[in-house]
Amino acid sequence: MIHPTTARVLAAELPGHIGESIELCGWLHRRRALKSVTFLVLRDRSGLAQVVAAEGEADIPEETVLRIRGTVTANPQAPNGVELTGPTVELLSGPAEAPPFSLYRPTVPATLPVILDGAPVTLRHPRLAAPHRISAASVAGFRAVLDGLGFTEVQTPKVVSSATESGAEVFALDWFGRPAYLAQSPQFFKQAMVGVFERVYETGPVFRAEPHDTTRHLAQYTSLDAELGFVTDHRDVMAVVRAAVAGMVEAVAARAAAAVELLDVELPVVPAEIPQIHFAEAMRLLGADEPDLAPAHERWLGEWALREYGSEFLFVVGYPMRKRPFYTHPEPSRPEYSNSFDLLFRGLELVTGGQRLHRYEDYLGALAARGESPEPYAAYLRSFAHGMPPHGGFALGLERWTARLTGADNIRRTTLFPRDLHRLTP
Ligand code: AMO
């Protein structure tokens, strides 16, 4: 029931209400019984508030959901310089169990599996919730930039009839008796929608049945995708990547300032022009000769870019065609390389993108060259049969972004409910 006379005030808003009688709602974060006084620390979506309680209220268990009415009183010793005094405490619901560890201690005394197993409650710890606030702000920033550049947001099916990313494994499922797959990316749909809207983006789940047990792979992750028409080549796409990433950093600073401070996050500077290196040149520097970058190569290049350009971001352009999907546009003067790129952030691949083929006959040729039948791609190929402009796009892995930003040692720390080789619950 909402009390008709007192309006709910959030913990972070208390300093603006000194002397007023107000209502706070939240969870009992911490109970501190001192000799002469008991403090209840209440947690709500904005932060923490101190309440000076009566003696009997000292035995309410932590995580009890409370509605507290009282007077906002200045106290320089209290957090934020205010506390609630003379409270009336109403219990809205009590916990049936204690959390696996104390949620009020500044550090988290638990291993990753304990945190993930108990996610519905462990994520209440402010330090464990903070990365997800940063993720949310990042997505808001991504949307704001692309909306501003005339992109239309789309939602596309996550159950599809053919694989979209050659090389990545698919999850097969039964769709009313027909074979189907969980979408590995919105690649085909976003390209098709260039034919309708010219510029589209999507933020949503994608699925990779990769049996990788690493700190940077998930079987389901969040892909921030964009695709735009009428590009000259991949460089136009890279300019949009740069704008999107800069907007994400800005939005994190503006919308998740408390989380940034709590985690001591060092926000990166996104250079006006992100430095770039050609794949062939990168291989020369690395003294290697391989068709793709290994994680150690990415780390090395990340450090190199920091040394050479003072940049935490580096575009690697021109990956060999044989390691890129069939829709990739070749580099016109060196067709063994491609008009594609990866963006490395702090030594890890964050974005993949590039220019695509756009002529129908080029698709038929590319599939034939790879020994693939056009049949499973019939629906995809229709876009090209009806005229498509030169276009390109990219996808950014949200969980990797947040992990790199917050210094998390494992992508699972930036995923609410990770899905991987071993984990299907909670
Ligand atoms: P790609 O397969 O390289 O490209 O994926 C794009 C970005 O998604 C992230 N990523 C992952 N994150 C977590 N777990 C995984 N298993 C995982 N796999 C990939 C990475 C990666 O850079 N269709 C193309 C994009 C495009 O060209 O538009 C694609 O999906 O951050």
> How does the average pLDDT of the chain come out, rounded?
95
This prediction's pTM = 0.96
Q: How far is ligand 1, taken at its centre, from the CA of residue 351, in Å?
A: 7
> What six digits make up the tokens of 182?
């969980």
Closest-CA residue, ligand 1 atom 27, reads 353
Residue 221's CB: how many other CB atoms inside 10 A?
21
> SS3 for 56?
helix
Q: What's the first-to-final CA gap in the chain, in angstroms? A: 31
Residues of the chain with CATH 2.40.50.140: 11-91
The phi, psi pair for 173, rounded to 5°, reads: -145, 170
- C-alpha 76/C-alpha 74 separation (Å) is 6
Q: Give residue for tokens 């990166």.
A: 268
Q: How far is ligand 1, taken at its centre, from the CA of residue 204, in Å?
A: 12
Residues of the chain with CATH 3.30.930.10: 120-414
Burial class (CB in 10 A: 0-12, 13-18, 19+), 237: buried
DSSP alpha helix (H) spans, 198-294: 234-255, 257-262, 279-286
Q: Please indicate if the annotation marks 400 as binding a ligand.
A: yes
- C-alpha 173/C-alpha 242 separation (Å) is 37
Evaluate: CB of 343 within 6 angstroms of ligand 1.
no
Sites in the chain below the pLDDT cut of 70: 1-6, 56, 166-168
Q: How far is ligand 1, taken at its centre, from the CA of residue 396, in Å?
A: 6
- Strands 152-153, 178-182: pairing is unpaired
- Interacting residues of 190 by C-beta distance below 8 A, sequence separation 6+: 154, 156, 200, 201, 202, 225, 226, 227, 393
**Atom number in ligand 1 closest to CA 328:** 27
pLDDT of residue 276: 98
Closest-CA residue, ligand 1 atom 16, reads 217
CATH, domain range 120-414: 3.30.930.10
CATH, domain range 11-91: 2.40.50.140
Contact 393, 237 (CB under 8 A): yes
In the chain, % of residues over pLDDT 70: 97
pLDDT in tens, 37-66: 899 999 999 999 999 998 767 789 999 999
Rg of the chain's alpha carbons, rounded to an integer?
26
pLDDT of residue 279: 98
pLDDT of residue 220: 98
Dihedral of CA atoms 137, 141, 143, 145 in degrees, nearest 10, equals 180
